[in-house]
Amino acid sequence: MAVEPLEDVKREVIEAARRAYAIGLQTGNGGNLSSRVPGTDRVLIKASGESFGECTPGSLVAVSLRGEILEGAGPPSREVLTHLAVYNARPDVLGIFHCHAPWSIACAEFAEDIPCLAYHAAAKIGCIPVLRTEGHADRVVVEAVQDLLGRHPGVKVFVQARHGIFSMAGSIRLAEHQAELVEETAKIAWLVAVRSRAPA
């Protein structure tokens, strides 16, 4: 397979970040996203503290699959270890998108997985398991993610309780689109649950 130029990968990451910010999927300077350069062990990840809405080539840090910083001015996102755990476990994944989506976080408080009630969601993402762990962007989370990936081979998305969506795909563009669908699915699940408890 031909190696995709680094500049093309940077452009795709920036486009995904700005789209997510523009539609309100992530606010402020939260969330993170990354893309593995195909055919290499190089990963581009948003630098810590950078906003999706203001993402530029200078907002990205290049790291190896072992976590070595290869290029970039700022430190990588604090969740770089989680991203690398996924890339090392799943060679098919070339893009990871993470955001603090409110409907998904709310639903994750009350379920072991978020139900895909809409047919298109079930077809496109399958299942949405909820990851419960006491850690935050540390080795505890890495181990929990590795365990989840082992229990759900090929899973495309999951929601970390009290934290947000993690979406994994063959491109960062698709990973961001899947995250949008997870948030839509969580909103539907919440509204259906509220209506089912309402008086007739």
Structural domain boundaries in the chain: 6-197
What value does the mean pLDDT take over residues 170-177?
98
Residue 120: the pLDDT is 98
Is pLDDT of 1 > 50? Answer: no
Average pLDDT over residues 133-149: 93
Interatomic CA distance for residues 192 and 200, integer angstroms: 14
* Predicted local distance difference test score (pLDDT) of residue 74: 83
CA distance 183 to 159: 10
Is there a catalytic annotation at residue 109?
Answer: no
pLDDT band at residue 22 under the 50/70/90 scheme: very high
Predicted confidence at residue 137, as pLDDT, reads 83
- CB count within 10 Å of CB 59 equals 22
Query: Per the residue annotation, which of 7, 12, 54, 79 is the catalytic one?
Result: 79
pLDDT band at residue 197 using 50, 70 and 90 as cut-offs: confident
pLDDT at 198: 66
Token pair listed for 200: 């007739």
Six-digit token pair at 184?
């839509």
What contacts 81, CB < 8 A, 6 or more positions away?
A: 67, 137, 138, 139, 141, 142
Residue 23 token pair: 């539609």
User: What mean pLDDT do residues 135-147 have?
Assistant: 93
pLDDT at 199: 66
Answer whether 0.85 is exceeded by the pTM: yes
In angstroms, the CA 184 to CA 110 distance is: 17
Residues 113-125 have a mean pLDDT of 98
Of residues 102, 136, 127, the one with CA closest to residue 178: 127
Q: Is the pLDDT assigned to residue 79 strictly greater than 80?
A: yes
Query: Taking 50 as the threshold, does the pLDDT of residue 2 lie above it?
Result: no
Question: Which of the listed CATH numbers 3.90.700.10, 3.30.565.10, 3.40.225.10, 3.30.420.40 matches domain 6-197?
Answer: 3.40.225.10
Question: Which has the higher per-residue pLDDT, 95 or 5?
Answer: 95
Tell me what the pLDDT averaged over the chain comes to: 95
Q: What residues are paired with 63 via a beta bridge?
A: 43, 69
